[in-house]
Structure 1
Amino acid sequence: MSILVTGATGTVGSLISQRLADAGAEVKALVRQPGKRALPEGVEEVVGDQTDVPSMRAALSSVRTLFLLNAVTPDEVTQALITLNLALEAGIERVVYLSVIHAERFTNVPHFTGKQTVERMIESFGISATVLRPAYFMQNEHSVQQVIEDYGVYPMPIGSSGVSMIDTRDIADIAVAELLRRDRASVALESLTLDLVGPTAWTGTSAAKVWSAALGREIAYGGDSVAAFEEQMASFGPSWLAYDMGLMMAGIQQYGMQGCDGAVERLENILRRPLRTYEAFVQEATGTV
């Protein structure tokens, strides 16, 4: 019996596939197009689409544990619910689901409310699952690094409420720990929800200072304009996604993104090491380590 990884060629999924293979697990990677990307040695490619029922029935056969990740798409909820229903049909009792932090609070943000709907299904059906609820990814900063370096402005309008950014490598390591714990258990384990956060809450101003220190020159915070952010996003992507991300930024400004009490200690106990810091990420990104 194997572990099926959805989103297996993405930022988080590719790390998880590699780490599971390194740990000696039997891994299947769900891909839409065969041979599009090289997979880690020992990982079996399984071609399927989460909206195509026959292909998912085949992909979920001989699977004991499911890692469910759904990209932000207009049909994200449909993909996730079909996959979970088919997993139940196949008798799969062990699931790790990548959700998002504060899904119950950011109710006007489409991809947050979509993930909350999936969490509700997991709970209502009594699925034995670990729900991972990550905050803002540090690696999101790669998309604006050129702007930071060329124009001296940190453009993400994250405001001043505090965002505990997390490194995607830590997300992958925690996901793998939970997948292996569930997969190797003699029985299905109790459900668990984890807020995935970094060790420090950052504001737009304090994040800009980290980039200033790494680059050796002043980087200014670009301000809290969500409209300008949405307009910039829409210039190189679909308008629905730009709008979704703009609503998320407005929510971040209002509520922040910070874990529950004890979240950092709990994660570091799982990892058996400290969480990666934003300062270290920026130094690595700029080659100033």
Structure 2
Amino acid sequence: MTILVTGATGNIGRKVVDQLVARGIHPRALVRDPARASFPAGVEVVQGDLLDVDSLRGAFTGVSTLFLLNAVAPDEFTQALVALNLARAAGVQHVVYLSVIGSDVYVNVPHFAGKYGIERMIEAMGFSATILRPAYFIDNDVTIKDVVVNHGVYPMPIGSKGLAMVDTRDIAEIAAIELVRRDRAAGPLPLERINLVGPDTLTGASVAAIWTDVLGRPVAYAGDDSAGFEQNLRGFMPSWMAYDMRLMAERFVSDGMVPQAGDVERLTDMLGRPLHTYRAFAAGMAAAA
């Protein structure tokens, strides 16, 4: 049988494909434009997207296990429900879904609420499923490297409650482990939720301190200005998305994004190695600056 990876050319989806190939699996990759896709030998590329019913029907043929990843979009919930209904009709048994930690807590944040609804549909449809709930991606901060390095300011309004930031390499490897485990199971396995976190729970001040150390000069935390954050984002994304991100930042400040007891140990055991750290990420960015 076959593992289908959606979002296969994205930051996480591509890493999942590579992790599967490293485990001797030849997955099927769903992409919008096959001409622009470049994958290792043995990866089957199929054209389509999560709102193209005909292409999905073809993509799901012979698929046993689905990695469902869909980007933040106004119709994210519809995309997922179309895919899940077609997957079930095609006989797909197992699903690994990339949700978000706190999806059931950040209920006013559109893309969190949508992901929680999708989680509930996966459960109600009876899939043998793993729901992955990652915290804030360490890699997101690539986009603000120049602000930190050139202006000495960490601008992300992440507050003082703490975020258990996670590296996308760890997300992808855990996803591949779960995809292979479910695909090779003799029958359906119970639904599980796994929080994907990093080894450290970081605040705005502690992230600024890490940058201060790795750069060897002061870096200040810009504070919890979610309105300013929204305004800055509107310069390069739609207004609805910028507002969605503002609401998320406000929940960072009010609630944080902290791990549950045992999360770090569980992930370390699954990976057989330590989790990647924010400090290592910052040091790499500083070295490349």
Smaller-chain TM-score bracket: over 0.9
Written as runs of structure 1 = structure 2, the 5 A alignment for 1:9-28 is 9-28=9-28
- Could you say what secondary structure the match of 2:139 adopts? helix
- Could you say what secondary structure the match of 1:274 adopts? coil
Q: Deviating runs (4+, > 4 A) in structure 1?
A: none
Equivalent residue number for residue 74 of structure 1? 74
TM-score by length of 1: 0.98
Q: CA deviation at 1:19?
A: 1.2
Equivalent residue number for residue 120 of structure 1? 120
5+ residue gaps, structure 1: none
Paired amino acid for 2:58: A
In 2: Cα distance, 1:236 partner to 1:102 partner: 26
Equivalent residue number for residue 157 of structure 1? 157
Equivalent residue number for residue 90 of structure 1? 90
TM-score by length of 2: 0.98
The answer to whether the 8 A contact 2:149-2:286 is kept is no
- Could you say what secondary structure the match of 1:160 adopts? coil
In 2: Cα distance, 1:82 partner to 1:259 partner: 31
Q: CA deviation at 1:34?
A: 1.9
Paired amino acid for 2:264: V
Equivalent residue number for residue 220 of structure 1? 220
Matched, 1:231 2:231: yes
- Structure 1 window deviating more from structure 2 (122-131 vs 168-177): it is 122-131
**Percent identity among equivalent residues?**
53
Equivalent residue number for residue 136 of structure 2? 136
Q: CA deviation at 1:273?
A: 1.0
In 2: Cα distance, 1:171 partner to 1:233 partner: 25
Q: CA deviation at 1:37?
A: 2.5
In 1: Cα distance, 2:137 partner to 2:191 partner: 24
Equivalent residue number for residue 176 of structure 2? 176
- Could you say what secondary structure the match of 1:129 adopts? strand
Cα deviation, 1:153-203, whole Å, max 9, x if unaligned, reads 000000000000000000001001100101111112111100111111100
In 2: Cα distance, 1:250 partner to 1:27 partner: 38
- Could you say what secondary structure the match of 2:284 adopts? helix
Equivalent residue number for residue 36 of structure 1? 36
Q: CA deviation at 1:259?
A: 1.7
In 2: Cα distance, 1:81 partner to 1:254 partner: 31
Equivalent residue number for residue 202 of structure 1? 202
Q: CA deviation at 1:125?
A: 1.8
Q: CA deviation at 1:91?
A: 1.0
Paired amino acid for 1:24: G
Matched, 1:59 2:63: no
Matched, 1:284 2:284: yes
Q: CA deviation at 1:100?
A: 0.3
Cα deviation, 1:259-284, whole Å, max 9, x if unaligned, reads 21111111111111111111111112
- Could you say what secondary structure the match of 2:16 adopts? helix
Equivalent residue number for residue 256 of structure 2? 256
Q: CA deviation at 1:26?
A: 2.4
Q: CA deviation at 1:13?
A: 0.3
Equivalent residue number for residue 109 of structure 2? 109
How many pairs align? 288
- Could you say what secondary structure the match of 1:95 adopts? strand
The answer to whether the 8 A contact 2:156-2:229 is kept is yes
The answer to whether the 8 A contact 2:31-2:37 is kept is no
Q: CA deviation at 1:33?
A: 1.2
- Structure 1 window deviating more from structure 2 (241-250 vs 121-130): it is 121-130
Paired amino acid for 1:262: G
5+ residue gaps, structure 2: none
